[in-house]
A = this chain, B = another copy of it.
């Protein structure tokens, strides 16, 4: 997971149902843990990103396997912030290399471009991105895995900060062109997805749909240029997956550890789960 805030996700945690699955992991301090929210905690506003439903869709298609997410997105980052040898690039390589000690790197998820949508930056987007992706592939010995880039929001020109994003269409064109011309690179449209009040960040419901589109791209090895007819249903199926007893207990422990329920309530709920 690399890119800027829309890869890290938005904080509207309550607008969607939690995806919690023991078989979906997230890398924390270079080690695998069960994925929780927010998975990519770069800023206090991070929350629901596209990667959770991507992983959920992956699990639907791979019922007996584990999937792991490596969260390295950083809010507000430009392509220059992702330059080869810089902190963001090196951190992502470091984390991915640790994951590779006991896992297989299967894909790279990218969402970035808002911070290159002005001041002529879009004109050099294609070339800068190309250098960065080539370097990731070389560092991680990952020449053939899919690189999947999501389009930035059509809503960017409206809203409070709209006047800054004069080149968001050109960035989307650059992303799409890069995907069309580069082996193992794909573009996923954001058409129809909507924003929070800030006009900057995909809302949580849209992030869920986006993740499902990313998985369609990943599994079919093609760009996704229009919304999927089944995406809402698929999101429901992923979110409504029944929890195992261990998962119910883990979520109860999180609720207790967060101070949301008392020790008495925790122990009572625990008895109920264990009886079931």
- Residues in chain A within 8 A of chain B (CB atoms): 10-12, 14-15, 28-31, 33, 36-38, 41-45, 47, 72, 74, 87-88, 90-92, 94-95, 98, 101, 160, 196-198, 201, 254, 256-259, 262-263
Known: A44-B254, A254-B44. A88 touches B262 (CB 8 A): no
Complex CA gap A15/B259 in Å reads 10
Partner of A91, one of B10, B30, B41, B45: B30
Interface pair B263/A197, CB less than 8 Å apart: yes
Interface pair A259/B12, CB less than 8 Å apart: yes
Interface pair B90/A30, CB less than 8 Å apart: yes
Interface pair A87/B98, CB less than 8 Å apart: yes
Closest chain B CB from A260 CB (angstroms)? 9
Between-chain CB contacts (< 8 Å), 30 pairs: A10-B259, A11-B258, A12-B259, A15-B259, A28-B43, A29-B42, A29-B74, A29-B88, A30-B87, A30-B88, A30-B91, A31-B87, A31-B88, A36-B44, A37-B44, A38-B41, A43-B257, A44-B254, A44-B258, A45-B257, A47-B258, A87-B98, A87-B101, A91-B94, A91-B98, A94-B94, A160-B263, A196-B259, A197-B262, A201-B257
Number of copies: 2
Residues of B within 8 A of A45 (CB): 254, 257-258
Complex CA gap A261/B262 in Å reads 28
Complex CA gap A244/B12 in Å reads 27
A97 nearest in chain B by CB position: B90
Residues of B within 8 A of A196 (CB): 259
Residues of B within 8 A of A92 (CB): 29
Residues of B within 8 A of A95 (CB): 91
